[in-house]
């Protein structure tokens, strides 16, 4: 039986203004803060997780809070993040809602197989709202966005690379994705190639934008740190570890993140990939009804809580 990924698990981006980030994603985008924790590799930085009403895998948009300059755009990074909504009528609602909140938007039209709407946050983080009529939102009752207009989850994610072949080999030969279609890129030179994993559809698509004329991106606020893909449990993750190792790819090996277990490695154009388990999830250390209301720390950081809290800025 072929080992397959289940879709997008989460995407981790970078902000240099955690309080404003929290306000934008919970108030303007209406997402639920499902976990307020710290970067486990740099506990001076928040790691904020936003999601749907029950913190579903595949709905997690997360941010590291780093004191950094803005990203310089280019290749070798994630260029745009998809967010799914249920209909074209909902896209029109979002266009009006975003513009009422002083967020510029594109027109609504078909882009690379999906009717969509583009916008950016206050730091230039690039998003594309896309129609997903196969899945329904699990709403957050306290969201300022109406229940039927809330974001379902992530996907598709767009990578920006200078050459297709090395990335294609990683996606198809190692990660068992399927190249299903391609389009001329409309905003600039080059093409966009669409890959599916597992069940397919916008929740399980990766788009690869190929343009050799772009410079190398410089990481920073408004940029993306990594994209993560879904696997059900630790057993399947260990199968992925064995598979990645069998190709001689340098990786992290198994990394315990407490809310999920992960494997990290880079595709040949340098973009950081993660494969993460759906379990145990974000209710592992706090009740579902109060997710994100206090600072959560995994057990190995709990003895250092006082020191960690002292080093964090208030989010209010």
Distance CA 233, CA 239 (A): 10
Distance CA 5, CA 181 (A): 19
At residue 184, the pLDDT reads 83
The 10s digit of each residue's pLDDT in 129-152 is 999 999 999 999 999 999 999 999
Q: Has residue 279 got a pLDDT over 80?
A: yes
DSSP reduced 3-state for 147? helix
Residues 312 and 53 sit within 8 Å (Cβ to Cβ): no
Give the model's confidence band at 186: pLDDT under 50 very low, under 70 low, under 90 confident, else very high. low
Low-confidence winner among 33-47, 92-106, 184-198, 220-234 (lowest mean pLDDT) = 184-198
DSSP code for 218: B
Q: Is residue 297 part of a domain?
A: yes
Give the model's confidence band at 187: pLDDT under 50 very low, under 70 low, under 90 confident, else very high. low
> Could you give the C-alpha distances from 41 to 22, 156, 264, in angstroms and in order?
21, 28, 14
pLDDT over 70, % of the chain: 98
Mean pLDDT computed over every residue of the chain:
96
Give the model's confidence band at 316: pLDDT under 50 very low, under 70 low, under 90 confident, else very high. confident
Q: What token pair was written down for 4?
A: 């397959």
Q: Is residue 2 part of a domain?
A: no
The CATH number linked to 232 is: 3.10.180.10
Give the model's confidence band at 312: pLDDT under 50 very low, under 70 low, under 90 confident, else very high. very high
pLDDT over 90, % of the chain: 96
Q: Is residue 316 part of a domain?
A: no
Q: Is residue 1 part of a domain?
A: no
The 10s digit of each residue's pLDDT in 198-255 is 999 999 999 999 999 999 999 999 999 999 999 999 999 999 999 999 999 999 999 9
Distance CA 121, CA 289 (A): 28
Q: Has residue 189 got a pLDDT over 70?
A: no
At residue 190, the pLDDT reads 78
Residues 8 and 155 sit within 8 Å (Cβ to Cβ): yes
Dihedrals φ, ψ of 302, to 5°? -55, -40
- Give the 3-state secondary structure of 226-293: EEEEEECCHHHHHHHHHHHHHCCCCECCCEECCCCEEEEEECCCCCEEEEEECCCCHHHCCCHHHCCC
At residue 27, the pLDDT reads 98
Q: Is residue 238 part of a domain?
A: yes
The 10s digit of each residue's pLDDT in 35-67 is 999 999 899 999 999 999 999 999 999 999 999
Q: Has residue 196 got a pLDDT over 70?
A: yes
> Which residue range is the domain that position 280 belongs to?
7-311
Q: Has residue 192 got a pLDDT over 90?
A: yes
Report the domain count for the chain: 1
At residue 11, the pLDDT reads 98
108-118 burial, b at 16+ Cβ within 10 Å, e below that, comes to: beebbbbebbb
Q: Has residue 188 got a pLDDT over 80?
A: no
């Amino acid at each position: 039986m072929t080992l397959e990924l289940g879709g997008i698990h989460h995407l981790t981006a970078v902000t240099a203004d955690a309080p404003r980030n929290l306000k934008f994603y919970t108030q303007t985008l209406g997402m639920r803060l499902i976990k307020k924790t710290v970067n486990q590799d740099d506990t001076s930085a928040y790691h904020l997780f936003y999601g749907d009403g029950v913190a579903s895998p595949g709905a997690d948009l997360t941010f590291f809070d780093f004191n950094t300059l803005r990203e310089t755009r280019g290749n070798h990074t994630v260029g745009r993040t998809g967010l799914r909504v249920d209909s074209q009528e909902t896209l029109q609602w979002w266009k009006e809602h975003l513009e009422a909140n002083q967020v510029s938007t594109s027109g609504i039209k078909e882009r690379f197989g999906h009717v969509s709407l583009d916008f950016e946050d206050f730091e230039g983080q690039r998003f594309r709202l896309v129609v997903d009529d196969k899945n329904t939102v699990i709403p957050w009752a306290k969201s300022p966005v109406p229940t039927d207009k809330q974001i379902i989850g992530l996907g598709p994610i767009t990578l920006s690379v200078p050459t297709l072949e090395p990335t294609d080999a990683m996606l198809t030969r190692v990660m068992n994705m399927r190249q299903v279609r391609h389009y001329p890129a409309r905003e600039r030179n080059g093409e966009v190639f669409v890959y599916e994993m597992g069940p397919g559809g916008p929740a399980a698509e990766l788009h690869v934008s190929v343009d050799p004329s772009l410079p190398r991106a410089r990481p920073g606020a408004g940029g993306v740190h990594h994209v993560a893909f879904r696997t059900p449990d630790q057993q399947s993750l260990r199968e992925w570890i064995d598979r990645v190792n069998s190709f001689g790819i340098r990786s992290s090996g198994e990394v315990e993140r407490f809310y999920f277990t992960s494997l990290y490695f880079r595709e040949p154009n340098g973009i950081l990939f993660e494969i993460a388990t759906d379990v145990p999830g974000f209710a592992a250390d706090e009740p579902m009804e109060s997710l994100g209301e206090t600072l959560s720390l995994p057990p190995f950081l709990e003895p250092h809580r006082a020191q960690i809290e002292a080093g964090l800025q208030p989010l209010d």
